């Protein structure tokens, strides 16, 4: 049954710490979407979920990569919904493979989709639709292992008058979606540039939304460029300021991707002892992301510095 979405007070200030946001919005057993398509991955949020010891989560993420492997290793995740379970093009996710291949140390329930299947699930969730059709999956073995992917008959004839069949996917409505963004105002109007992925749809699909940002900016900065606002304040429950919180992914205009860490992850995650040691040192051993970022050191961050490529301002002027 379709229900109205709860109303967020779009005028209220929502700025809180990562610790407060995860404590308030991520609970044991929740369905948690973490989105960011290679760009702006909410790693710092994943690490705080690990620190707070959440259990039995269903994690929804198109590209389940390093942060998901870390959450798996920390025992936070019982179920994964994803369309790509790999370490980018840099190698394997050791913990994920142990869980799936050998149920080691415990089984992982895995719902496998394709990228557009995941996008359509978010679209259906955001738009409160019972399903979303897509021209994928015909002849694939995926529907046989994923009962969420179903074939229906179109109620309309095709162009040639014939009856048309099409696959559909169900909505996903996470308890909470967490995204990382370049900047927002204190009410949650969130601006993203560069790769924008599926973040807006993932936020609108969710019951609650947490936006983690590189920078908190004044209302005037947002309102000087409203087209860049991907997520309006009315859809955002919390704003967390967490510079460098997307590492090892990148934030366009702020810092580059840490390709060396992606390459290193295959070896770290291949050995369970080494992976546990990594979590001890970098997640449990740091009180928050600020300490994690400081521990990496300024010399390290200088290596990920980006140059300047400013856009031309546009004129939003109205009638005089």
- Sign of dihedral through CA atoms 244, 255, 204, 152? negative
Q: How far apart are CA 113 and CA 101, in angstroms?
A: 18
Which C-beta is closer to other proteins: that of 169 or that of 283? 169
Q: Which is nearer to other proteins, 51 or 99 (CB)?
A: 99
Structure tokens belonging to residue 236: 């955002």
Size of the site for other proteins (CB under 8 A): 54
* Binds other proteins by CB under 8 A, chosen from 84, 131, 284, 301: 84
The only residue of 25, 113, 278, 292 in contact with other proteins, by rule CB under 8 A:
113
Toward other proteins, which CB reaches closer, 252 or 286? 252
Nearer to other proteins, 134 or 222 (CB): 134
What is the SS3 assignment for 98? helix
Range 140-165 burial, b when 16+ CB lie within 10 A, else e:
eebeeebebbeeeeeeeeeeeeeeee
Minimal CA–CA distance to 197: which of 22, 42, 10, 32? 42
Give the one residue of 83, 191, 229, 269 binding other proteins; rule: CB under 8 A: 83
Coil vs helix vs strand at 80: strand
Residue among 21 and 67 whose Cβ is closer to other proteins: 67
* Interaction of residue 71 with other proteins, rule CB under 8 A: no
Check binding of 266 to other proteins (CB under 8 A): no
252 near other proteins, judged by CB under 8 A: yes
In the shown chain, the binding pattern of residues 49 to 68 toward other proteins, with x for contact by CB under 8 A and - for none, equals -------------xx-----
Contact range with other proteins by CB under 8 A, out of 117-125, 174-182, 183-191, 217-225:
117-125
State the pairing for strand pair 176-184/163-169. unpaired
Is residue 270 a contact point for other proteins (CB under 8 A)?
no
Write out the two tokens for 129.
């639709």
- Nearer of residues 75 and 253 to other proteins, judged by Cβ: 253
Pick 145 or 294: Cβ nearer other proteins = 145
Q: How far apart are CA 286 and CA 248, in angstroms?
A: 16
Please report where in the chains the tokens 């359509």 appear, as a residue. 120
195: contact with other proteins by CB under 8 A: yes
CA distances from 264 to 141, 164, 198 (A): 33, 48, 27
Stretch 197-236: interaction string toward other proteins, x if CB under 8 A: xx-xx-----------------------------------
> Between residues 115 and 234, which has the closer beta carbon with respect to other proteins?
115
Residue 252: phi and psi, rounded to 5, are -55, 125
- Say whether 121 sits in a helix, a strand or coil: helix
User: Which of positions 144-173 make contact with other proteins (CB under 8 A)?
Assistant: 145, 151, 164-167
Half-sphere exposure of 313 (CA within 13 A, CB side): 6
Which residue in 220, 309, 314, 320 binds other proteins (CB under 8 A)?
309
In this complex, which beta carbon is closest to other proteins, that of residue 52 or of residue 252? 252
Q: Determine the 3-state secondary structure of 280 from DSSP.
A: helix
CB 298, min distance to other proteins, A: 20
Q: Based on the number of CB atoms within 10 Å of its own CB, is 23 exposed (0-12), middle (13-18) or buried (19 or more)?
A: middle
Give the pairing type, strands 132-134 and 163-169: antiparallel
Binding site for other proteins (CB under 8 A): 37-39, 62-63, 82-86, 88-89, 96-97, 100-101, 103, 112-117, 119, 123, 134-142, 145, 151, 164-167, 194-198, 200-201, 250, 252, 256-257, 259, 306, 309
């Amino acid at each position: 049954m379709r229900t109205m979405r709860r109303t967020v007070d779009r005028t209220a200030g929502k700025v809180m710490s990562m610790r407060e946001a995860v404590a308030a919005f991520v609970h044991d057993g929740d369905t948690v979407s973490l989105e960011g398509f290679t760009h702006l991955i909410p790693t710092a949020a994943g690490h705080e979920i690990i620190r707070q010891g959440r259990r039995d989560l269903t994690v929804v993420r198109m590209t389940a990569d390093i942060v998901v492997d870390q959450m798996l290793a920390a025992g936070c995740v019982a179920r994964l919904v994803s369309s790509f379970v790999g370490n980018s093009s840099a190698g394997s996710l050791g913990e994920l493979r142990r869980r799936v291949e050998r149920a080691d140390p415990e089984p992982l329930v895995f719902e496998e989709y394709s990228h557009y299947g995941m996008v359509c699930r978010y679209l259906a969730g955001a738009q409160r639709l019972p399903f979303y059709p897509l021209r994928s999956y015909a002849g694939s073995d995926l529907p046989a292992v994923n009962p969420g992917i179903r074939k229906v008959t179109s109620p309309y004839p095709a162009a040639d008058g014939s009856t048309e069949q099409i696959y559909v996917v169900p909505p996903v409505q996470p308890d909470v979606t967490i995204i990382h963004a370049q900047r927002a105002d204190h009410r949650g109007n969130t601006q993203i540039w560069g790769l924008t992925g599926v973040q807006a749809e993932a936020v609108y699909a969710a019951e609650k939304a947490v936006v983690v940002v590189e920078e908190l900016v004044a209302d005037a900065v947002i309102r000087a460029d409203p087209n860049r606002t991907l997520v309006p304040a009315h859809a955002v429950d919390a704003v967390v300021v967490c510079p460098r919180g997307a590492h090892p992914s990148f934030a366009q205009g702020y810092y580059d991707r840490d390709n060396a860490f992606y390459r290193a992850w295959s070896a770290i995650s291949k050995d369970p002892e080494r992976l546990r040691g990594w979590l001890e040192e970098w997640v449990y051993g740091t009180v928050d992301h600020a300490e994690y970022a400081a521990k990496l050191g300024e010399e390290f961050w200088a290596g990920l510095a980006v140059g300047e490529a400013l856009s031309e301002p546009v004129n939003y002027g109205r009638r005089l």
